[in-house]
């Protein structure tokens, strides 16, 4: 049996690496979920456009024929670098090489109220929670008192990056095409969708034409933009903005910030801004020969990216490919090759026929950008079955401006008890 490799996290980076490591290594893949999640489409689960199973892939199914890969579903408690061990709720695992691919988690900037009351969207479970909240709000609105209607119907999205823009646009389409048919006795002119962004523009990291066009799209769709301002506090019913204004709201969707999801035991002197792990050009953690970090949690400075690479799926996938090739070089006692990244472009969708795409040589918006976004995201989906499921759902939505997936699925008491017990054990 070859040397032991432990991969922490089954996101884009961890899954790609595990699939590319051959039988020269004994691989243990550790994640808290038993499935890989396609994060770019979480917002479509949250707005009832896709079911969770369409963007989730069971890990044991992926590795059915890979006898050298062991999947463990548990939470990591600590990494013991001195002893080359990973300590989890399910036991302790030895390693020769450790790869940290734990991605990002929500950054609430130290505000406990945001953490308690806001709805983040970093997992399928959180996307389902948002869907439940949105749909339950409309059910509550049917019997709400007049003085409660504003807070019940208002929805605020914090953060004007791609996730926030896509979420706000999807909600605006629900308001226009879907909800009036589901609730014909409700006045949806009173439903307000706000997008709050701390910078002067949406899609801050994209080109100026894309920023401008995305704002035009959102305003055309009825989204109320609050740019160059921040959400200061939230008590579950009232949002206080930095300028002192108040928005009554029961639903604050948090896409405003992320930070690296670093396991305990990683020394603080290798962490940089954003709680990311500093790595060299081979994705090797600073001063640690047998520990690597890839994907969103990794911070690598290069001449082309002096402030680190963008936290995108494409970066994660390509870092995993490069590390897998380097680990095969280690077996052959060859020198590793440094990671080089060429940005293929960025994109975001706002609504039907409304998207923006920035390529290295050109930017374009509108219908072509929207079809480009759909095609590329569909190609990134892991299995043929899921590709087909998503394509059928998108086709139905395209021709009918409707979906049939608006189910309120609340956990039972037994499910809550099981989850609480498992969390306590972990």
- Is 155 contained in some domain? yes
- Is 185 contained in some domain? yes
Q: Are strands 104-106 and 25-31 parallel, antiparallel or unpaired?
A: unpaired
Percent of the chain beyond pLDDT 90? 79
Query: Average pLDDT over the chain, rounded to whole?
Result: 92
Residues 233 and 323 in one domain: no
Q: What is the pLDDT of residue 38?
A: 94
User: Which of 77, 105, 85 is closest to 291 using CA atoms?
Assistant: 85
Query: Region 77-88: what's the mean pLDDT?
Result: 95
- At residue 144, does pLDDT exceed 90? no
- At residue 425, does pLDDT exceed 70? no
> Other C-beta atoms within 10 Å of 10: how many?
28
340-387, pLDDT tens digit by residue?
Answer: 998 888 999 999 999 999 998 899 999 999 999 999 999 989 888 899
CA distances from 364 to 164, 212, 368, 377 (A): 20, 12, 8, 17
Residues 101 and 116 in one domain: no
- At residue 423, does pLDDT exceed 90? no
Domain CATH code at residue 157: 3.50.50.100
Sign of the C-alpha dihedral, residues 301, 304, 306, 309? Answer: negative
- At residue 1, does pLDDT exceed 70? no
Residues 323 and 296 in one domain: yes
Query: Region 239-263: what's the mean pLDDT?
Result: 93
Residues 134 and 240 in one domain: yes
Number of domains in the chain: 2
Query: Region 404-410: what's the mean pLDDT?
Result: 78
Q: 256, 271, 286: which is the final residue of a domain?
A: 256
- Is 381 contained in some domain? no
Q: Which residues of 57-90 are buried (b: 16+ CB within 10 A; e: fewer)?
A: bebeebbeebebbebbbbebeebeeeebbbbbbe
**CA 377 – CA 379 distance, rounded (Å):** 5
191-207, pLDDT tens digit by residue?
Answer: 999 999 999 999 998 99
Q: 215, 240, 256: which is the final residue of a domain?
A: 256
Residues 96 and 176 in one domain: no
- Is 398 contained in some domain? no
Q: What is the pLDDT of residue 417?
A: 67
- Is 343 contained in some domain? no
Residues 28 and 94 in one domain: yes
Q: What is the pLDDT of residue 224?
A: 97
Q: Which residue has the tokens 């472009």?
A: 345
Q: What is the pLDDT of residue 392?
A: 92
Domain hosting residue 282, numbered range: 3-32+74-106+259-331
146-169, pLDDT tens digit by residue?
Answer: 888 999 999 999 999 999 999 999
Determine phi and psi for 60, rounding to 5 degrees: -65, -30
Q: What is the pLDDT of residue 406?
A: 81
Residues 223 and 315 in one domain: no
Whether residue 69 contacts residue 59, with contact meaning beta carbons closer than 8 Å, is answered with no
- Is 320 contained in some domain? yes
Residues 264 and 235 in one domain: no
pLDDT band at 22 (very low <50, low <70, confident <90, very high): confident
pLDDT band at 412 (very low <50, low <70, confident <90, very high): confident
Q: What is the pLDDT of residue 424?
A: 66
- At residue 422, does pLDDT exceed 90? no
Three-state secondary structure readout of the chain: CCEEEEEECCCHHHHHHHHHCCCCEEEEEEECCCEEECHHHHHHHHCCCCCHHHHEEEHHHHCCCCCCEEEEECCEEEEECCCCEEEECCEEEECCEEEECCCEEECCCCCHHHHHHCEECCCHHHHHHHHHHHHHHHHHHCCCCHHHHHHHHCEEEECCCHHHHHHHHHHHHHHHHHHHHHCCCCCHHHCCEEEEECCCCCCCCCCHHHHHHHHHHHHHCCCEEEECCCEEEECCCEEEECCCCEEECCEEEECCCEEECCCCCCCHHHEECCCEEEECCCCEECCCCCEEECHHHEECCCCCCCCCCCCCHHHHHHHHHHHHHHHHHHHCCCCCCCCCCCCCCEEEEEECCEEEEECCCCEEECHHHHHHHHHHHHHHCCCHHHHHHHHHHHHHHHHHCCCCCCCCCCCCHHHHHHHHHHHHHC
Return all residues near 313 (Cβ < 8 A) that are at least 6 apart.
12, 39, 40, 380
Q: What is the pLDDT of residue 421?
A: 67
247-256, pLDDT tens digit by residue?
Answer: 999 999 999 8
Q: 219, 241, 256: which is the final residue of a domain?
A: 256
Percent of the chain beyond pLDDT 70? 96
Residues 201 and 119 in one domain: yes
Return all residues near 73 (Cβ < 8 A) that are at least 6 apart.
31, 32, 33, 34, 59, 90
Q: What is the pLDDT of residue 2?
A: 81
Residues 27 and 99 in one domain: yes
Q: Which residues of 277-303 are buried (b: 16+ CB within 10 A; e: fewer)?
A: bbbeebbbbbebeebbbbbbbbbbeee
- Is 58 contained in some domain? no
Q: What is the pLDDT of residue 420?
A: 66
Residues 158 and 122 in one domain: yes
Q: What is the pLDDT of residue 287?
A: 86
Domain CATH code at residue 303: 3.50.50.60
Residues 96 and 117 in one domain: no
According to the per-residue pLDDT averaged within each range, which of 139-143, 290-294, 331-335, 392-396 is highest? 290-294
- Is 59 contained in some domain? no
pLDDT band at 413 (very low <50, low <70, confident <90, very high): confident
**CA 157 – CA 138 distance, rounded (Å):** 17
């Amino acid at each position: 049996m070859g040397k032991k490799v432990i991969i922490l996290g089954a996101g884009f980076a961890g899954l790609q690496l595990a699939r590319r490591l051959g039988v020269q290594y004994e691989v243990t893949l550790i994640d808290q979920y038993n499935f890989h999640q396609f994060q770019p489409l979480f917002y479509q689960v949250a707005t009832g456009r896709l079911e969770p199973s369409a963007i989730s892939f069971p890990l044991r199914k992926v590795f059915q024929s890979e006898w050298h890969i062991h999947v463990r579903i548990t939470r990591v408690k600590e990494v013991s670098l001195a002893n080359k061990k990973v300590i989890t709720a399910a036991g302790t695992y030895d390693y020769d090489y450790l790869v940290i691919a734990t991605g990002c988690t929500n950054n609430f900037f130290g505000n406990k109220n945001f953490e308690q009351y806001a709805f983040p969207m970093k997992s399928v479970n959180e996307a389902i929670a948002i869907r439940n909240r949105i749909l339950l709000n409309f059910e509550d609105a049917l019997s709400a008192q007049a003085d409660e209607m504003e807070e019940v119907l208002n929805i605020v999205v914090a953060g004007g990056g791609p996730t926030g823009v896509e979420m706000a646009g999807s909600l605006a389409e629900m308001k226009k095409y879907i909800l009036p048919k589901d609730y014909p006795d409700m006045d949806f002119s009173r439903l307000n969708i706000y997008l709050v962004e701390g910078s002067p523009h949406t899609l801050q990291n994209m080109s100026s034409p894309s920023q401008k066009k995305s704002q035009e799209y959102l305003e055309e769709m009825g989204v109320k933009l609050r740019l160059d301002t921040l959400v200061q506090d939230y008590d579950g019913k009232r949002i206080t903005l930095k300028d002192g204004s108040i928005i009554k709201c029961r639903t604050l969707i948090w896409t405003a910030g992320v930070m690296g999801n670093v396991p305990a035991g990683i020394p603080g002197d290798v962490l940089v801004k954003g709680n990311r792990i500093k790595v060299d050009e081979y994705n090797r953690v600073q001063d640690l020969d047998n520990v690597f970090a890839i994907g969103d949690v990794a911070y690598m400075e290069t001449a082309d990216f002096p402030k680190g690479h963008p936290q995108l799926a494409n970066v994660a996938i390509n870092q995993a490919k490069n590390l897998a090739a380097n680990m095969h070089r280690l077996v052959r006692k060859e020198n590793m090759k440094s990671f080089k990244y060429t940005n293929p472009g960025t994109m975001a969708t706002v609504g039907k026929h409304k998207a923006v795409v920035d390529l290295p040589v050109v930017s374009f918006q509108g219908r072509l950008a929207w079809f480009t976004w759909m095609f590329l995201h569909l190609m990134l989906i892991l299995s043929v079955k899921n590709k087909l499921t998503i394509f059928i759902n998108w086709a139905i939505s395209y021709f009918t401006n409707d979906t049939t997936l608006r189910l309120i699925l609340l956990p039972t008491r037994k499910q809550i008890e099981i989850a609480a017990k498992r969390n306590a054990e972990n």
